[in-house]
Amino acid sequence: MDRLLLELPTLEDLELVKKKVFMRIDINCPIDYETGKILDDRRIRVHSAYIKSIVEKYEPALVLGSHQGRPGEREFVSLEEHAELLSKYTGISIRFVDDVIGPAARQAIKDLKPGEVLLLDNLRFVSEEVIEADPEIQSNTILVKKLSNLFDYYVNDAFATAHRSQPSIVGFPLVLPSAIGPLFEKEVKAVSKIYTSGDGPRVFVLGGSKIHDLIRVIENLVRNKLAERILTTGVLAQLFLLAKGVKIGDENIRILEEKNALTLIPRARQLLLKGAPIETPVDVKTLVGEKEVDNTSVTNIRGVIKDIGDTTIEVYSEFIKEASLVVMRGPAGVIEDERFREGTLRLLDAVSKTRAFVIIAGGHLGSMVDDSRIDSSRIHVSTGGNALLLMLSGEELPAIKAMLLSKSIFHGGKK
Ligand code: 3PG
């Protein structure tokens, strides 16, 4: 992993001063369905610090691009509010254009002067951006062709999207001298802890909604022998309970069905049959009817599962205590509801008391961590959820592959 860091081109390999630069960032944020407003701007705050220092150091004409949500989702919105928040946190007046590859965007890019920053609208407004394909194909997309000739360099600081083989991630590196950005670099450094964390068990506490990615992560972790214990929570736990033959109840099965997760049962069963070190809850908190909250054994589930139960919290906390590395992804329950935050809060408390190196893998959890309670040399709060997990589990991420290809084409970057 350290070798990889040496191989990846970084900003130092480019001559950025006063050049026109396209930087892919990931400011995809949770959105309030009712108001369409950003619910948690942590990614914007993190990126802002890096954008500010790039502008101060190199004075480039800096164009930023990000996606937000996916077509068909309620989180699929414009980046106008993101631009306002970027301006607020960087102290730079960030321009915004409600266009991606059309004449308005291209003119705004051409007009941009050194030291100025422009944010394009949601890159996924261009339909090509949601298609996954090899770098070669993506470098020939309309999106890449329309934009690339306007820039001197491409920088990828969107670590959280590094697992997607989409045009703005893997297409540009083949046609422009490129480098990873400073946030990307920091994230890759944290990943190396999987190999250097010490002798104790490496414990993964996995939950959250992107369940298809999570199964892939677990398969990798098991194949590459990178986890001594995998503690499941949320819908992932329900999937494994079902795969074990536990009767989780029709309402909970329906929730899995809505996430298209029942198709994953054979893969979950395979993992269990192979003896993968996967733990499932022994009890859960459920909502029965409208109001009744029940803490019940998994052998006797009533109502909709909303959190892990008290005994499970204790058992999981004991596993966490022993660890030399703890990786945590996703809340353990429905944290938006006060009644079901306890599982997540108590696991975070257990994590803060260990001697382990702690990696918090993005998402809502990142905002719940009071990192001041953990010595900063011992915690990495990542902006990347599943990208980080896939890399930790031994996968070569498309963004990294494309960056290495770029290096071989442009010989380290100088234009
Ligand atoms: C994320 O939040 O995981 C990244 O922004 C990637 O988003 P995606 O899963 O919609 O590609």
Query: Crossing angle, helix 250-258 and helix 234-243, to 10 degrees?
Result: 110
Are 141 and 113 in the same domain? yes
Closest-CA residue, ligand 1 atom 9, reads 161
In a domain? residue 190: no
Query: Crossing angle, helix 80-90 and helix 42-58, to 10 degrees?
Result: 60
Are 86 and 225 in the same domain? no
Are 65 and 22 in contact by the 8 Å Cβ rule? The answer is yes
What's the 29 CA to ligand 1 centre distance in angstroms? Answer: 9
In a domain? residue 389: no
What's the 360 CA to ligand 1 centre distance in angstroms? Answer: 16
What's the 141 CA to ligand 1 centre distance in angstroms? Answer: 21
Are 136 and 244 in the same domain? no
How many whole angstroms separate alpha carbon 387 and alpha carbon 396? Answer: 10
What's the 70 CA to ligand 1 centre distance in angstroms? Answer: 9
Mean predicted confidence (pLDDT) in 116-135: 98
Alpha helices in 41-191 (DSSP H): 42-58, 80-90, 103-111, 135-138, 142-148, 182-191
Are 335 and 297 in the same domain? yes
Confidence of residue 386 (pLDDT cuts 50, 70, 90): confident
Are 42 and 174 in the same domain? yes
In a domain? residue 192: no
Are 162 and 185 in contact by the 8 Å Cβ rule? The answer is no
Ligand 1 pocket, mutate which of 73, 386, 391 (most atoms under 8 A from CB)? 386
- Atom of ligand 1 at shortest distance to CA of 210? 9
pLDDT value, residue 23: 98
- Atom of ligand 1 at shortest distance to CA of 385? 3
- Atom of ligand 1 at shortest distance to CA of 363? 2
CA separation, residue 21 to residues 48, 92, 153, 176, 299 (Å): 16, 17, 5, 10, 57
Are 75 and 68 in contact by the 8 Å Cβ rule? The answer is yes
Per-chain mean pLDDT for the chain:
94
Are 106 and 220 in the same domain? no
Q: Which residues contact 73 (CB under 8 A, 6 or more apart)?
A: none
Structural tokens at position 270: 């395979």
How many whole angstroms separate alpha carbon 326 and alpha carbon 291? Answer: 34
The domain of 208 spans 198-355
Are 147 and 238 in the same domain? no
pLDDT value, residue 412: 56
In a domain? residue 386: no
Are 163 and 238 in the same domain? no
Can you tell me whether residue 290 is helix, strand or coil?
Answer: coil
pLDDT in tens, 31-82: 998 999 999 999 999 999 999 999 999 999 999 999 999 999 999 999 999 9
- Atom of ligand 1 at shortest distance to CA of 26? 5
206 has a pLDDT exceeding 90: yes
Are 180 and 156 in contact by the 8 Å Cβ rule? The answer is yes
* Amino acid (1-letter code) at residue 147: L
Are 117 and 55 in the same domain? yes
What's the 301 CA to ligand 1 centre distance in angstroms? Answer: 32
**Number of Cβ atoms within 10 Å of the Cβ of 373:** 12
- Atom of ligand 1 at shortest distance to CA of 213? 9
CA separation, residue 18 to residues 15, 81, 113, 179, 328 (Å): 9, 27, 8, 16, 40
Are 177 and 239 in the same domain? no
Q: Which residues contact 57 (CB under 8 A, 6 or more apart)?
A: none
Ligand 1 pocket, mutate which of 24, 25, 26 (most atoms under 8 A from CB)? 26
How many whole angstroms separate alpha carbon 206 and alpha carbon 332? Answer: 8
Are 41 and 140 in the same domain? yes
Closest-CA residue, ligand 1 atom 6, reads 161
Share of the chain above pLDDT 70, in %: 98
Ligand 1 pocket, mutate which of 28, 44, 382, 397 (most atoms under 8 A from CB)? 28
In a domain? residue 381: no
In a domain? residue 223: yes
In a domain? residue 193: no
pLDDT in tens, 269-305: 999 999 999 999 999 999 999 899 999 999 999 999 9
| Consecutive H or E run containing 230 | strand 229-232
Confidence of residue 367 (pLDDT cuts 50, 70, 90): confident
User: What does the angle CA 165 – CA 224 – CA 376 come to, to the nearest 5 degrees?
Assistant: 80
What's the 282 CA to ligand 1 centre distance in angstroms? Answer: 31
How many whole angstroms separate alpha carbon 126 and alpha carbon 316? Answer: 44
pLDDT value, residue 226: 93
Q: Which has more confidence, 196 or 115? A: 115
φ and ψ at residue 23, rounded to 5 degrees: -115, 120
Q: Which residues contact 88 (CB under 8 A, 6 or more apart)?
A: none
What's the 365 CA to ligand 1 centre distance in angstroms? Answer: 15
Report residues whose beta carbon is within 6 angstroms of any ligand 1 atom.
26, 28, 70, 160-161, 164, 385-386
What's the 128 CA to ligand 1 centre distance in angstroms? Answer: 16
How many whole angstroms separate alpha carbon 380 and alpha carbon 405? Answer: 28
Report the Cα–Cα distance between both ends of the chain, in Å, rounded: 27
What's the 142 CA to ligand 1 centre distance in angstroms? Answer: 22
In a domain? residue 391: no
Are 61 and 129 in the same domain? yes
pLDDT value, residue 101: 98
- Atom of ligand 1 at shortest distance to CA of 386? 3
The count of domains in the chain is 2
Confidence of residue 372 (pLDDT cuts 50, 70, 90): low
346 has a pLDDT exceeding 90: yes
Closest listed residue to residue 30, CA positions, set 349, 379, 366: 366
Confidence of residue 194 (pLDDT cuts 50, 70, 90): confident
CATH number at residue 135: 3.40.50.1260
User: What does the angle CA 95 – CA 178 – CA 99 come to, to the nearest 5 degrees?
Assistant: 30
